[in-house]
Structure 1
Amino acid sequence: MNSQRKIDSIMAKTSSKEEKLQGICDFLESEVSYYDWVGFYFKNGNKNELKLAQFTGEETEHTIIPFGKGICGQVALSNENFVVQDVSQQDNYISCGWKVKSEIVIPIFVDGENIGQIDIDSHTANTFTKEDEQLLEYVCKKVAAIL
């Protein structure tokens, strides 16, 4: 898979962790037409909240997300992938803008602990596939190795 090779290439660069994460965000947003916002959230120290790290796309006011709130906050507790094909059907959804129609969030595990996640918003409803999940799980495994 070409995308996986590109992710490997970004991760192999001798740049900082932050540059690697930003490179992944930039690549995914430019490579996949329906990835309109790509970002990483990580557990904020020992607090039960997520903190926004690197991202590509429109600015967001959601730089801190309490565990349990929104899709990202739910993944922080469930430790499972969460694919939302239509955000309007979700009760516990934090709106990042009227354009967002669907969202996918994949957790990142280090030594069995959920330490963060990759979050992708799309302006297209019903767009995410199993292939998206597999690619993003691959990204999360690669990211876990540098944390």
Structure 2
Amino acid sequence: MFQTTSYSGDLTAGYELLNKQLAALLEGETNTVANLANASALLNQFLDRINWVGFYVTDSEDSLILGPFQGLPACVHIAFGKGVCGTAAATQETQLVADVHQFPGHIACDAASNSEIVVPLVRDGKTIGVLDIDSPEFDRFSEIDRQGLERFCETLLRYI
């Protein structure tokens, strides 16, 4: 396994390898909770300069509930449209936030978080959850991270 700071290749290639590792890790497993748990652990090992990585899953038509994650205890319920996660769930668009303190309605589950990326998990036009990653650094996530994590979620959706 590698982290982005120690990986000698480019970040895009790192995400391609990460996707292959995810597919190999989840192949043959059908349990959603187990697959989300292993996906969050894999991301936690791959990504550097983060303080939280995990999933919120759709709990009802308009709310998310905490799923498998790596990091400190987190908010349990998030309504669609609230905070970065709820916005990603409602809009079905990735939210790349350089400074969470400037995001309208940001929900501060961890005061150490300064930037965030949230990728919606969408199946058949419905949000089934989100991937949420926080960093203590401002402007931690790039366009390459967005593209790589969106591909990661596309791969993940085949197994959950």
What's the TM-score, normalizing by structure 2?
A: 0.84
Listed as ranges, the matches of 1:1-147 within 5 Å are: 1-14=16-29, 16-46=31-61, 48-60=62-74, 62-147=75-160
What amino acid is the match of 2:116?
Answer: E
Gaps of 5+ in 1: none
What SS does the aligned partner of 2:60 have?
Answer: coil
More deviation in 65-74 or 135-144? 135-144
User: Could you tell me how far 1:130 is from its partner in structure 2?
Assistant: 1.4
Report runs of 4+ in structure 1 exceeding 4 Å deviation: none
Distance 1:15 1:112, change over 3 A: closer
More deviation in 78-87 or 132-141? 132-141
What SS does the aligned partner of 1:127 have?
Answer: coil
What SS does the aligned partner of 2:90 have?
Answer: helix
What amino acid is the match of 2:57?
Answer: F
User: Could you tell me how far 1:120 is from its partner in structure 2?
Assistant: 0.5
Alpha-carbon displacement from aligned partner over 1:47-96 (angstroms, at most 9, x marks no partner): x1101111111111x11101111111111211111011111211210002
- Does the 8 Å CA contact 2:23/2:156 hold for their aligned counterparts? no
Alpha-carbon displacement from aligned partner over 1:98-144 (angstroms, at most 9, x marks no partner): 21010000111111222211000011111101121122112211222
User: Could you tell me how far 1:7 is from its partner in structure 2?
Assistant: 1.3
What's the TM-score, normalizing by structure 1?
A: 0.91
- Does the 8 Å CA contact 2:118/2:130 hold for their aligned counterparts? yes
- Does the 8 Å CA contact 1:109/1:141 hold for their aligned counterparts? no
What SS does the aligned partner of 1:107 have?
Answer: strand
What SS does the aligned partner of 1:52 have?
Answer: strand
User: Could you tell me how far 1:13 is from its partner in structure 2?
Assistant: 4.9
What SS does the aligned partner of 2:138 have?
Answer: coil
Gaps of 5+ in 2: 1-15
User: Could you tell me how far 1:17 is from its partner in structure 2?
Assistant: 2.1
